[in-house]
């Protein structure tokens, strides 16, 4: 009921208890409800228009300054392609998730990724069609730079405006009737969160039927449905949200039977005991829903992006460093004899075995010799090997492991299998390092954890850095680690 500008939310406690007010009251706000589809379409259309106008505008300005004839039709085709790529990438990256309107870090990141994808795809298509010579590189680059800053600025301003409308209660994306059976603190938090996300609360009821028999329970649920139908007849109500314990199957079965009387969708939200199991995506297997209770550390898009960086970087470095690699191989052969490369089985992604490659830095040993980590002033290390190990040049042959897909440029360093076996028993999350491909360098290495791991505490610290990297991966983090590796690792006195 409405009283003095406030919506007094009531709860039906039981059949023997009269209606009572909830501990707090929710201000009745002048919600203007707009379909989420319309909001998404508006933001998407704005993004598309910004891309098109930026690229065409930059091309026109460039030709006006140069005093040459502008080719608006060609610029229009490029801008349409770029706009479609930006909107499509943002859609795939969940960039139009209205719940995250005010998460500006997320919005900026997704917009940036979409823009970079668009830039490189348009450039690649131009290269394949041999049409790049027909366009000014300065005009195209200027258009993309202008568009990038324009889309970030205007998009964030518009999303900020929408977020402010939602927070002030002037814009509602949907309306819902809420049914609770649980903790009062959780109720208040849930209601506040839903209102911040643009849900107008048309009614709230507390269904407490634990002490009732089957007949009284049916009567209570029927009365609840009647209340919701009455509310639906007076105010807009898009859905009913049920916050009920999943353990009470008899209650859920009865509610499912009773709620068929309502002409609106009814949603059962996961309770605290199962939400961690159903939070992931759902698929259908043999006509049965299946929930993803553990996701891959990287999405397909992220894996493709990382693999692209690996291939580009590894091939480029191998070509650039080939004279150095040939020279080092020759020096190893003539100074210590034996094979140039050291090969050893390591564990990679998912625990799969692969043969890692390094420049040999130790004297050739019999295969029967028991494994032992290299230590400072290790007598097995050759004079040339000491230099190679200190500068990490001995790791460069692993670029071939990267090209073969066994390793990545950046990731947790792969350890010898005896070391893996030892620490897997001592450190609970040790095996989680294999959730991504091992790397030539990694977050732990640029933070000082490289070389020997003489005790459990040292290895635990390295594992902590490795797991942080896995949980916080981004392409920019990989680039940062690569740059810092060049600046830090070759001069690290802890390497031996």
pLDDT in tens, 157-175: 887 787 777 766 666 677 7
Task: Of 271, 267, 270, 269, give the one whose Cα is nearest residue 259.
Answer: 267
Per-residue model confidence (pLDDT) at position 247: 78
Q: How confident is the model at residue 233 (pLDDT cuts 50, 70, 90)?
A: confident
3-state secondary structure of 392: coil
Confidence category of residue 25, pLDDT binned at 50, 70, 90: very low
Is the pLDDT assigned to residue 306 strictly greater than 90? Answer: yes
For position 199, what pLDDT does the model report? 78
Count of CB atoms situated within 10 Å of the CB of 275: 11
HSE-CB at 237 with a 13 A cutoff on CA atoms is 24
How far, in Å, are 1, 3, 33, 193, 233 from residue 28 at the CA level? 10, 9, 14, 16, 18
Q: How far is CA 350 from CA 289, 292, 335, 429, in A?
A: 26, 18, 38, 14
DSSP string of 60-95, one letter each residue? HHHHHHHT----HHHHHHHHHHHHHHHHHHHHHTTT
Mean pLDDT of 374-394: 76
3-state secondary structure of 198: coil
Confidence of residue 491 (pLDDT cuts 50, 70, 90): low
Asked which of 159-163, 225-229, 332-336 is least confident by mean pLDDT, the reply is: 159-163
- b/e map of 211-236 (b: 16 or more CB within 10 Å)? ebeeeebeebbeebbebbeebbeeee
Parts of the chain belonging to CATH 3.40.50: 2-31+169-291
Question: 2-31+169-291 belongs to which CATH class?
Answer: alpha beta
More confident call, 376 vs 57: 57
| Euclidean distance between CA atoms 469 and 493, whole angstroms | 24
249-258 helix and 214-234 helix, angle to the nearest 10 degrees: 40
Q: What is the mean pLDDT of the chain?
A: 78
């Amino acid at each position: 009921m409405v009283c003095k500008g406030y919506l007094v939310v009531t709860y039906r406690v039981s059949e023997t208890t009269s209606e009572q007010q909830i501990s707090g009251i929710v201000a009745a706000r002048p919600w203007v409800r707009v379909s989420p589809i319309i909001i998404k379409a508006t933001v998407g259309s704005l993004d598309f228009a910004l891309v098109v106008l930026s690229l065409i505008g930059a091309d026109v300005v460039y030709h006006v300054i140069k005093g040459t004839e502008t080719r608006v039709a060609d610029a229009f085709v490029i801008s349409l392609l770029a706009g479609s790529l930006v909107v499509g990438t943002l859609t795939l990256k969940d960039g139009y998730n209205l719940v995250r309107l005010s998460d500006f870090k997320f919005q900026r990141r997704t917009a940036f990724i979409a823009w970079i994808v668009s830039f490189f795809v348009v450039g690649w298509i131009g290269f394949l069609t041999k049409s790049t010579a027909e366009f000014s590189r300065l005009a195209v680059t200027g258009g993309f730079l202008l568009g990038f800053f324009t889309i970030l600025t205007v998009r964030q301003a518009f999303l900020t405006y929408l977020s402010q409308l939602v927070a002030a209660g002037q814009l509602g994306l949907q309306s819902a009737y809420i049914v609770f059976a649980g903790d009062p603190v959780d109720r208040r938090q849930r209601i506040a969160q839903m209102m911040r996300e643009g849900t107008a609360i048309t009614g709230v009821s507390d269904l407490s039927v634990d002490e009732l028999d089957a007949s009284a329970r049916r009567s209570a649920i029927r009365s609840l449905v009647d209340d919701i139908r009455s509310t639906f007849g007076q105010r807009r109500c898009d859905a009913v949200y049920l916050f009920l314990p999943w353990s009470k199957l008899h209650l859920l079965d009865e509610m499912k039977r009773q709620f068929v009387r309502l002409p609106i969708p009814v949603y059962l939200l996961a309770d605290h005991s199962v939400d961690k199991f159903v939070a992931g995506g759902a698929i259908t297997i043999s006509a049965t829903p299946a929930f993803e209770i553990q996701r891959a550390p990287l999405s397909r898009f992220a894996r493709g992006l990382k693999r692209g960086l690996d291939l580009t970087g590894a091939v480029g470095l191998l070509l650039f460093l080939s004279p150095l690699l040939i020279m080092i191989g020759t020096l190893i052969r003539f100074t210590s004899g034996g094979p140039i490369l050291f090969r050893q089985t390591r564990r990679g992604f998912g625990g799969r075995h692969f043969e890692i490659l390094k420049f040999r830095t130790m004297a050739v040993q019999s295969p029967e010799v028991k494994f032992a980590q290299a230590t400072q002033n290790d007598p097995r290390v050759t004079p040339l090997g000491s230099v190679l190990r200190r500068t990490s040049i001995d790791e460069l042959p692993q670029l071939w492991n990267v090209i073969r897909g066994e390793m990545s440029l950046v990731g947790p360093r792969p350890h010898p299998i005896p070391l893996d076996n030892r620490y897997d028993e001592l450190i609970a999350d040790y095996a989680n390092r294999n959730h991504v491909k091992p790397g030539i360098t990694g977050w732990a290495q640029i933070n000082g954890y490289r070389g020997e791991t003489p005790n459990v505490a040292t290895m635990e610290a390295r594992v902590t850095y490795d797991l942080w990297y896995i949980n916080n991966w981004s392409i920019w983090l990989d680039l940062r680690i690569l740059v810092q590796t060049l600046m830090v690792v070759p001069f690290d006195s802890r390497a031996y």
